[in-house]
Amino acid sequence: MTNFKAAIFDLDGTMIDSMYVWEKVDKNFLTQRGIPVTAEYTEKMRGLFFEPAAEYTKRTYGLKESTQQIMQIWLDMARYEYEHNVRLKPYVKEYIDALKNKGVKLGLATSSDPYLLEPVLKSNKVESYFDTVCYTSQVGKNKSFPDIYLYTAEKLGVSPDSCVVFEDIPEGIDGANKAGMYTVAVYDKASENNIGYLKKKADRYIYEFSGMLEEIT
C-alpha cells in the first residue's frame, strides 16, 4: 500500500495521545469547585457533546457560571494540556516526514477545535507538514458521513480513490469508506472496545505507525 497520492489523518487518538484530556479537565474543573467527581458524572459526560455537557454540569451542580463561560473554561484548560503535555504517538512524525519526502500530500480531517489543534501541532513541530487542515464544522456533518474526507481530498487536489485515511474510531472509518478511500484503523486505548469492529470495517488495522514507516523507507 504505497501508491496513494494523499494521506488524510485524524488528529485525536490517531496522531496524538489526547483522549485523556477531557476526563482530566472534568476532574480539575469540579475539584477546583469542591465538587467530588463521581462515576455517574464521568459516564454521563462521555455521551454528551460539548455544549450539552456544559449545560448538564451547570444544571447538576447549580454553578454560577453561564454555559458559555463553562465551555470557555474547559477549552482553556484543554488548550494548556494540548500545548504543554499532549504528544505525538510513536513513529508518527517519522512517518509523515517520510511521506512528505516522497511527495505524498498530507491533510488533517478533524472534529477538534482550531483553538486546540494549532498549539498541539506547533508544540510537536509538525504544523508545516500539512497541505490542508479541514474541520467537520466546515462541512456541517460528523465523521460518520463522507463529507469531511471528500472535502479534504478536494482541498488537496487528489481523487478520493487515491487517498488513504487514518482514523481511530468507527465513525471515522465508516465515513472514509463511504468516501471510497483506503482506510487504516489505528489503535487507541479509548477505542479498545471497538477493535473488532475496526478490524472488520477498515482495510487495515495497525497498533502503531512503525510498520507503515518500514514500508516506505
Q: How high is the pLDDT of residue 96?
A: 97
Whether pTM > 0.85 for this model: the answer is yes
Task: For residue 130, tell me if it sits in a domain.
Answer: yes
44 and 91 fall within a common domain? no
Dihedral angle at the C-alpha atoms of 87, 48, 141, 81, nearest 10 degrees?
-20
79 and 158 fall within a common domain? no
148 and 170 fall within a common domain? yes
Sheet holding 182-186, edge to edge: 132-135, 105-110, 6-9, 163-167, 182-186, 204-206
Q: Which residues in the chain show pLDDT less than 50?
A: none
Q: How high is the pLDDT of residue 2?
A: 60
111 and 208 fall within a common domain? yes
Per the DSSP assignment, residues forming a β-bridge with 109 are: 134
53 and 126 fall within a common domain? no
113 and 155 fall within a common domain? yes
Q: How high is the pLDDT of residue 81?
A: 96
Q: How high is the pLDDT of residue 69?
A: 97
Residue-wise pLDDT tens digits, 67-125: 999 999 999 999 999 999 999 999 999 999 999 999 999 999 999 889 999 999 999 99
Q: How high is the pLDDT of residue 46?
A: 74
- Provide the number of structural domains found in the chain: 2
176 and 90 fall within a common domain? yes
143 and 202 fall within a common domain? yes
What's the CA gap between 163 and 157, in Å, rounded?
A: 11
155 and 53 fall within a common domain? no
Domain span at 60 = 21-84
Burial of 66 (0-12, 13-18, 19+ CB in 10 A): exposed
Task: For residue 1, tell me if it sits in a domain.
Answer: no
